[in-house]
Structure 1
Amino acid sequence: MIHNFNSGPSILPKQVFEQASQAVLNFNNSGLSILEIGHRTPQFEAVLEEARSLVKELMQLDDDHEVLFLHGGATTQFMQIPMNLLNDNQIASYTDTGTWGSKAIKEAKLFGHVEIAGSSKDTNYTTIPHQLNVSPTAAYLHITTNETIAGTQWHNIPYDAGVPLVADMSSDIFSRVLDFNRFGLIYAGAQKNMGAAGVNLVVVNQQLLGKVNRNIPSILDYRNHIREKSMINTPPVFAIYVAMLTLRWLKAEGGVSEMEKRNAKKANHFYDTLDSLPLFRGPVAKADRSLMNAVFVIDDAATEKEFLDQAKSEGFYGIKGHRSVGGFRASMYNALSYESVEALTQFMQQFAASKG
């Protein structure tokens, strides 16, 4: 049996694969593939509208918040957000909690002044900063809610920073209940918790837009995408379709609140096992551990390699840590079953026992 712990692109529900594969051959009995239908046809417009409606329902969004499906992934948002929200003479507050937060900071500096409201760099990104210094005149505060590489997660969202809150939720979107209406802008690459690679979800409070004094290229102006309902140009049709199927599955399974319960159960079981085995070490502070991406290490290179080799032969895929940090990473997204986590922990216990 295969157990998919890949960090992204990552595991999706089996029924989504089955429905998507059927649509590649014959979309809704049209005789055409989802890969070849026109994006301005009623068939695809219905897909896009259902996807948008499901996001609004699952996140319980108010009328001020608009849902967009855009190209470019979360990385494009690193520059598109300050381009739309930050004037040259303004301050933006950012938190530096790891690789993705650092990349967002680098791009924002091209458009205005960036102040670091909080950083965990001094702990080698093994913690989340709990004391923030946010300028009251900042255009917004940016956080990365879950750092996939560092394995940290914001469990206490800084809703009350006094400025609009912008969040990269690429790796924990739809994984837990949050007050999504208290965010000014949310963005998330689909390829971890809500679909296949190729599309990026943006949820934006329209009240924040139209306040910068720069000329914004048409394709990068959120207002144009809202006006054209995410079809200012040809959208990533197949990726949006897979996202819609995944959102359907999520709703049928009980919605975000049910995902939160399942994810807590998986993560608690994994971390309880990790903490019980001296062979393995979890570098992240317990209070800041990610429920999505559990990172851990073995403090011996030869034993670490042996563990990886045996894990692969046993059908555990994607547990090698990111190349920048090494070690291991078990990504436990919505579609990953508790049984897969249980299988991994049993393997860890057996391996540890074999080492005495």
Structure 2
Amino acid sequence: MIVVTGGAGFIGSNFILDWLARSREPVLNLDALTYAANPANLRAIANDARHVFVRADIRDRDAVSALLAAHRPRAVLNFAAESHVDRSIHGPAEFVSANLDGVFSLLEAARAYWEGLPAAERDAFRLLQVSTDEVYGSLRADDPPFTETTPYAPNSPYSASKAGADHLVRAWCHTYGLPTLTTNCSNNYGPHQFPEKLVPLTIVSALAGRPLPIYGDGSNVRDWLFVEDHCAALRRVLEAGRPGETYNIGGGGERSNLQVVRMLCRLLDELSPRADGRSYAAQIRFVADRPGHDARYAINADKLRQELGWQPAHGFEEGMRRTVAWYLANREWVEQVQTGAYRAWMETHYARRATQEEMA
């Protein structure tokens, strides 16, 4: 058995679905079910005995220790995290607690469990920390992409909390010998992503006839990674990664936020045209930029390619087309996650932001 923390969230649920489609090995899914987690993401495996769900928080060390002792996993993959930069700016305390204190508690529970294993099981055990490229900070337009040796320079409370967690993981490996792996991925997109992130936010807002908010002038660049490619990379790192090592995972799809939104509008124009015949791009609105907005992220994934033979299987446009098609086919899921709390958040962080026209 493996343990997946945060397995009801976007990337965690995609990983579990992918894992069980390819393996007979059971998964213990530990999730606190915070706002972005959704058990409906796992509806397809609701009756699968290989999937065991437990509602628990990684900050509850006693609960995690008891689960490890009872299920005796060979690996723990930590997806559990608060992950939205805007929310971290307005409420940093929860990010420090969940992402830093939570990883500390998880590491201590895992270390105690690992130290009590028989020698062969101890040698085979792995803890994989799923992290982000945002820990590296921001790149200029002509800077080379991030590598695994790029110094950490986080610029938001979110990325700082993830950077601190990564440092703890490294320290527990080097100090205590806990066999850890760390991955730093670029911006994910795909099915089941909570509609506060750029791609699902754009799709959902476009279909609802709402403005499509873009920070600043839309020139901020990200490297986009289809979630299925991320899952494949994580499987490979877990299988053959060297303990103590870090692996960058990137999609090779650098695009500005404006390019992404325009592509999504074009795909929606094709797959679900507006009744008035106009392009969804007419709904684009440029809004006041967020504080400390990083200019560019880019990933060099050569280490993962060369050492472990992974490369992304989906091109940028193919992945985006599949993502748009999924949201069009799953409007009930979208409706279910758009609670009153979600609507209040959108009003606070987008609708009330001054547009560029209002600022002029």
TM-score interval for Structure 1 and Structure 2 normalised by the shorter chain: under 0.3
Q: Does 1 or 2 have the higher relative contact order (CA < 8 Å, sep 6+)?
A: 1
Give the structure with the larger helix fraction: 2
Please report the TM-score for the alignment, with normalisation by the length of structure 1: 0.28
